[in-house]
Amino acid sequence: MAREATIQQIDTISPIPKADFLELATLKGMGWTFVVKKGAFKPSDLCIFFAIDSELPRKAPWAAFLADKGSTRIKTRRFRGAISQGLALETNILIGNKWPTGMKDHMITQVKNTPTGIEITGMYGGISFKVRPGTDVTHILGVTHYEKPIPEGMNGTLKGAFPRHIPKTDETMLQNIPSILQEMEGQEIYITVKCDGTSSTFSRVEGELEICSQNWSLKEWSREEDPDGKPPIHNLYWKMFRKYEMDTILNENDNIAIQAEMVGPGIQKNKLDLNEVEIRVFDIWDVKKSQYYDFDDLWDFCLKYKLPMVPVLYTSNGSGGATTSLTLTGAMRTMEYWLERAQGTYQNTKNRREGIVVRTCKAQYMGKIGIQNRASFKALNNNFLLKDED
């Protein structure tokens, strides 16, 4: 779901020690902190907020200050000791872009901030309309999401689009939905390590086999006919399908999707220090019921079929070597708690881990959360984001 650029409202502005020209800002209803120029914004001002891993269009004049530095990707950075995650710009950067309304795309000629949102005026008949904070303007501004480079042998040959009946593996960051902590309060939860690899999905639905990367269904060979006479590449997604005998598993369990992180040599610098490429299962989706497996069912399934799971840190029932019964309560209702827990290294390595994923043991779906309705979130390790991404 594209939400790289959204209209948001400034919540707080605070000084940064020893930074005469910078301030630290937050947004209402979100958990991000980010650096702005001193005096650029005040509380309650509206802005266009770009989340980390947004790629701004290089030719846009409002993004020129980043393009001149060689990259328009928004990253986690540190300024005078303050962590900055995101970028805020004035709402008038919308002027000159097309806003889709009804049958026509209206060229934006004027933007006016109001207490409840922004009033946009289009050139066709001077049409005006209001939009509220939270409105997604990603596509209107030509912003895209940064995708990590895919090594040769992993991109494969496309079979088609990612199947619509299976959710994509895209966990929402806690800072985007901090209110989920109140939604999950009192629930039994489990915590897993977020492995830094590449997402893979293996499914058979009504007999149709799908082996997928993050966004595409793939054929087994990445080069079926090569004019240079080079041998075809047997891509890694299909190698994992063969390695873990997924064909047998999916034959016995039709209408499910097994979702896992692929990790090992050649993938994201092999942060787990593995000797060969492996998978770490983190989800199973029941296509017929349109829901995820509960934790106990996921655990039992992986044990039965000898599928390696993502490392489990804690769970309410003691499975996976966990030592503590865990209910989300007390200090766990704060974002700071989870950002601290996200720190650490991968087991038996000195490599910073990417973070953690927190979910309810009984798969639940929260109606009050608009971005993603599953009762789960990821908390990323800020030290990983600052030091290990590049």
Statement to judge: residues 250 and 301 lie in one domain: yes
Q: Hey, what amino acid is at 145?
A: H
Determine the distance from the C-alpha atom of residue 76 to the mean position of all C-alpha atoms in its chain, rounded to a whole number. 14
Statement to judge: residues 201 and 107 lie in one domain: no
Query: Domain containing 232: what range?
Result: 158-387
With respect to residue 62, please indicate whether it lies within any of the assigned structural domains.
Answer: yes
Q: What is the pLDDT of residues 203-250, one digit of tens each?
A: 999 999 999 998 889 988 655 555 555 656 568 899 999 999 999 999
CATH number, domain at 346?
3.30.470.30
C-alpha–C-alpha distance, residues 54 and 47, integer Å: 16
* Number of domains into which the chain is organized: 2
pLDDT over threshold 80, residue 145: yes
Continuous H helices in 244-355 = 246-252, 295-305, 335-341
Query: In this prediction, what percent of the chain has a pLDDT beyond 70?
Result: 87
With respect to residue 151, please indicate whether it lies within any of the assigned structural domains.
Answer: no
Give residue 353's pLDDT: 95
With respect to residue 292, please indicate whether it lies within any of the assigned structural domains.
Answer: yes
Of 82, 113, 146, which closes a domain? 146
Mean predicted confidence (pLDDT) in 309-318:
75
Statement to judge: residues 221 and 293 lie in one domain: yes
Statement to judge: residues 45 and 105 lie in one domain: yes
C-alpha–C-alpha distance, residues 266 and 197, integer Å: 10
The pTM (predicted TM-score) of the whole model is: 0.86
Statement to judge: residues 106 and 166 lie in one domain: no
With respect to residue 277, please indicate whether it lies within any of the assigned structural domains.
Answer: yes
Statement to judge: residues 17 and 63 lie in one domain: yes
CA-nearest of 219, 234, 218 to 277 is 234
pLDDT over threshold 60, residue 327: yes
Measured CA to CA in angstroms, residue 261 lies from 237, 310, 377 at distances of 10, 8, 16
Statement to judge: residues 286 and 181 lie in one domain: yes
Residue listed under structure tokens 């289009």: 122
* CB neighbours of residue 290 within 10 Å: 10
With respect to residue 322, please indicate whether it lies within any of the assigned structural domains.
Answer: yes
pLDDT over threshold 50, residue 322: no
Of 126, 146, 166, which closes a domain? 146
Long-range contacts of 286-289 (CB under 8 A, 24+ apart): 286/255, 286/256, 287/165, 287/166, 287/203, 287/205, 287/255, 287/256, 287/257, 288/255
Statement to judge: residues 137 and 230 lie in one domain: no
Of 77, 112, 146, which closes a domain? 146
With respect to residue 49, please indicate whether it lies within any of the assigned structural domains.
Answer: yes
Q: Where residue 124 falls among pLDDT bands split at 50, 70, 90?
A: low
Statement to judge: residues 129 and 164 lie in one domain: no
User: Contact at 8 Å (CB) between 128 and 99?
Assistant: no
Statement to judge: residues 170 and 108 lie in one domain: no
Statement to judge: residues 141 and 181 lie in one domain: no
Mean predicted confidence (pLDDT) in 187-206:
94
CATH number, domain at 57?
2.40.50
Length of the chain: 390
Statement to judge: residues 171 and 140 lie in one domain: no
Q: Which residue has the higher pLDDT, 103 or 142?
A: 142
C-alpha–C-alpha distance, residues 154 and 163, integer Å: 19
Q: What is the DSSP letter of 300?
A: H
With respect to residue 152, please indicate whether it lies within any of the assigned structural domains.
Answer: no
With respect to residue 153, please indicate whether it lies within any of the assigned structural domains.
Answer: no
Q: What is the DSSP letter of 294?
A: P
Give residue 318's pLDDT: 46
